[in-house]
Amino acid sequence: MVAGLKPRGFTWVITDRLAVSERVGGSGFQHRRVRREEEITWLVEEAGINVVVSLLPGNQNLLAYREAGIATYSVPVGPDLTGREVEDFFKTLSKATAQGSARVLVHREVIDDTVGGLLGGFLVVSGLVTDPILALAVIQQILGRALGPEGRSLIPASAVS
């Protein structure tokens, strides 16, 4: 029997280590407390998620995650990303994934070019993929869609020292 409800867009970027989804509980006016609770149950019981990195501008869902035993990080990402925000995301995701037992979920309202570009960039920055063109191809394959110029610009040419 499956517990809870799988969040929209949930997919593993790195199997059993790093996942991405849309905001848990739905977005905007569609956000529902019951749906959020069912999705958190699924994340914990089915996916084994124990860390969430939220890219939402506020603290939405953070308390609910903590109450479910999920560690949280908040890296607010606005519509016009600064280099500082991108660096903060890479550092935070590196910290979140550093523990061997971490199963991390990154989410934002929707999985857009920004999220895809940040995840592709993380693959390069972390050294998991050394070629930025390959990182772009990998993240596009995982997300099932092409990234536009905004997303592509977030993938650095090489790992950050």
All structural domains of the chain, each given as residue ranges with its CATH number in brackets, are 11-152 (3.90.190.10)
pLDDT band at 59; cut points 50, 70, 90: confident
Q: Give the model confidence (pLDDT) of 121-132 as tens digits.
A: 999 999 999 999
Q: DSSP readout, 12-58?
A: EEETTTEEEEEPTT-SGGG--HHHHHHHHHHIIIII---EEEE-SSS
pLDDT for 104 beyond 70: yes
For the cut 90, the answer to whether the pLDDT of residue 72 exceeds it is yes
Question: What is the tens place of the pLDDT at every residue in 10-48?
Answer: 999 999 999 999 988 866 555 577 788 899 999 999 999
pLDDT in tens, 108-121: 989 999 999 999 99
The pLDDT of residue 80 is 84
pLDDT at 78: 84
Contact 23, 108 (CB under 8 A): yes
Could you tell me what percentage of the chain is helix, strand and coil, using 3-state DSSP and rounding each to the nearest 5?
45, 15, 45
CB 11 within 8 A of CB 19: yes
Q: What is the pLDDT of residue 161?
A: 47
Q: What is the pLDDT of residue 11?
A: 97
Beta carbons within 8 Å of 16's beta carbon, 6+ residues apart: 48, 103
* Amino acid 159: pLDDT: 65
